Amino acid sequence: MQSVIADPSLAPLGHQKIDWVAAHSPVLNRLFEEVLNDGSLKGRRIAVVVHLEAKTAYLALLLQKAGAHVIAASSNPHSTQDAVCAALVERGVQVFARHGVSQAEFERDLERVLEARPEFIIDDGAELVGRAVRRGGEILAGIRGSSEETTTGVMKLEAMAAEGRLPFPAIAANHAACKHLFDNRYGTGHSTLGAIMSATNLFLTGKRVVVMGYGWVGRGVARYAAGLGARVTVTEVDPIKALEAYADGFSVANSLDAAGYGEVFITTTGSVHVLRQEHFARMPDGALVANAGHYAHEIDLESLSAMAVARRQARPHVEEYELMDGRRIHVIARGELVNIAAADGHPVEIMDLTFAVQALACHHLVNHHGELAPGVHRLPAAIDRQIAETKLKTLGVTLDEPTAEQEAYTKQW
C-alpha cells in the first residue's frame, strides 16, 4: 500500500524538525550503535503507533536504519504533524496519518497499518493492539509482540490478558523506571504547563491550579505548577496518594469543593469524566480546563456543550463555552492531550529516554518473544539499568563502585 498523508510538499519542515531531534538524542544514538544495529531487526515488520511528531519519527528512522520495515501511524489525529509525516515518507517509511482527520478516517489509517501485517508493535494507548485483538484472524496471529507507551495502554493490555484475549507477549514500557520516573513526571509536568501558558498567554503565578490525580503525571504537573508560583490543590480517589500530595506540601480537597475556587483545572488520571457537569456548575467565570491524561474523555465535553448557550474560538487552541448565567469556561486543545495537541510534547531529552525504552523493548521482543508467555511483562531490569547508565555516560557522569566490604555487608544478617 502507498502511504496516506496530507501534503508531501511539507517535507522540508519535517526534515528540519527530525534533524533537531537527532542532534539532541544521545542515548538513542549510542544505543543504536551498541544494541539496535546488531542485525536482529533486519527484515522485521515493525509498526510504530505513537503521537506522530518529530521524536517519534526519529525512533522510526533508527529502526529502519537497523534494517526493519517500519509502518508508522499516529495514536491521536490531533497530535499528528503533517510535515513530519511527509518527511518520513521521503525517507522511505510507510506512513498512514493526517492531522485532524475524522474518527472514521483515523480508524481506517490504523486498519491500513494492520493490513501491512506488522510482526511487532510499538504502541501508545494500546490503540493498534486493541484493534488487532478485536479484528482477530491472520493479522492477529502474525503479531509476535508489542511494547506499550502509556499507563492507559498497560491497563487495557492487562484487561485483555485477564480475559484471555492477549495472544502474544506485551512489554509494559510505561512501567520501566527510565520511562515513568522521567517521562510521566518531568516530561509531562514541563510540557503541560508550557503548553497551557503558550495556548493562553496567561500568567500562572498566583493562580489557583487544581491537579486532578496524583500518579506520576499528576506529581509532575503539581510540582511544575508550584515551581511557577501557582497555588496548587490536588484531588484524588486514592487515600495514600492523597496523603502523599499532602506530605509533598500541596492542599488536598474533594474535587467538587475545588471546583468552586479553582482557576485552572488539569486532569491527569487516565480515567473518564473526571470533570463533569457538577464541576462545571461550580467553576468561576473564566476557568481554564486542560487534560494531561491520555484521552479527551477525562473532560465531559458533551455535558459542557449541553450546558452552554454559546461557543466561540477564543484563541487558536482555546474554545470558550458561555453558560446560561454568563460564566465562561475555556477548554484548551478540545480536551485532547494538551502538551502534544497544543504544542510539541515532551522535551527531546525526555523522549530520548522513553524511546530508548521502546526501542530496546522491541529489540528484546524480536530476540526473545518465543521465550515469553502471552500476557503483560516488565522490561528486564538489566535493560532499564543499561539505559540509565548510557544516559549518565552521555552526561559525563561516573558513579562510585561498592567496596568489597560494602558488598560483603549486604550479604550478611
Contacts of residues 94-102 at CB distance under 8 Å and 24 or more positions apart, as own/partner, are 94/1, 94/3, 94/69, 94/70, 95/3, 95/4, 95/5, 95/52, 95/71, 96/3, 96/4, 96/5, 96/71, 96/72, 97/4, 97/5, 97/52, 97/72, 97/73, 98/4, 98/5, 98/6, 99/6, 101/77
pLDDT greater than 90 at residue 295: no
Query: CB of 166 within 8 A of CB of 160?
Result: yes
One domain, residues 248 and 271? yes
Check whether 388 has a pLDDT greater than 90: yes
The pTM of this model reads 0.93
* Together in a domain, 353 and 319: no
Q: Judge whether residue 294 has pLDDT over 90.
A: no
Distance of alpha carbon 103 from alpha carbon 338, whole angstroms: 19
Phi/psi at 267 (5° precision): -85, 140
pLDDT higher than 90, residue 1: no
Name the pairing type of β-strands 328-332 and 318-323. Answer: antiparallel
Q: How far apart are the first and last CA of the chain?
A: 64
Max Cα distance, the chain (Å):
73
Residue reference for cell 502511504: 3
Structural Rg of the chain based on CA atoms: 22
With vertex at residue 360, the alpha carbon angle to CA 355 and CA 362, rounded to the nearest 5 degrees, is 95
Question: Is 304 found in the same domain as 377?
Answer: no
Q: What is the CATH number of the domain that holds 163?
A: 3.40.50.1480
pLDDT tens-digit profile of 353-374? 999 999 999 999 999 999 999 9
In a domain, 135, yes or no: yes
Question: DSSP H helical segments within 288-412, as ranges?
Answer: 301-307, 338-341, 348-368, 381-394, 404-409
Residues 39 and 175 in one domain: yes
Q: Would residue 405 count as lying in a domain?
A: no
- Ranking 30-34, 151-155, 222-226 by mean pLDDT, the lowest is 151-155
Q: Tell whether 256 and 326 lie within a shared domain.
A: yes
Q: What's the pLDDT at 86? A: 98
Alpha carbon distance 281, 62 (integer Å): 49
Range of the structural domain that residue 387 is part of? 8-179+346-394
The answer to whether the CB of 274 falls within 8 A of the CB of 267 is yes
In a domain, 407, yes or no: no
- 251 and 378 share a domain? no
Average pLDDT score over residue span 235-263: 98
Query: Quick one: pLDDT band at residue 155, thresholds 50, 70, 90?
Result: very high
With bands split at pLDDT 50, 70 and 90, how would you rate the model's confidence at 221? very high
DSSP SS3 for 267: strand
Residue range 248-277: average pLDDT? Answer: 97
> Which residues are 96's β-sheet partners?
4, 73
| 197, 324: one domain | yes
* Phi–psi pair at 76, nearest 5 degrees: -160, 120
Q: What's the pLDDT at 360? A: 98
Mean pLDDT of 42-47: 98
Domain presence at residue 404: no
Q: What is the pLDDT of residues 328-354, one digit of tens each?
A: 999 999 999 999 999 999 999 999 999
Task: Supply the CATH number for residue 297's domain.
Answer: 3.40.50.720
**326 domain residue, yes or no:** yes
Average pLDDT over residues 102-125: 97
Same domain as 231, residue 154? no
Distances (CA, A) of 398 to 177, 213, 353: 20, 36, 18
| Strand-pair category, 231-235 with 208-212 | parallel
Cβ within 8 Å of residue 397, ≥6 positions away: none
Given a cut of 90, whether residue 91 has pLDDT beyond it is yes
Q: Are residues 94 and 23 in the same domain?
A: yes
**Number of compact structural domains in the chain:** 2
Contacts of 234 (CB under 8 A, 6+ apart): 210, 211, 212, 213, 214, 218, 222, 242, 245, 250, 251, 252, 253
Average confidence (pLDDT) over 171-191 = 96
166 in Cβ contact with 375 (< 8 Å): yes
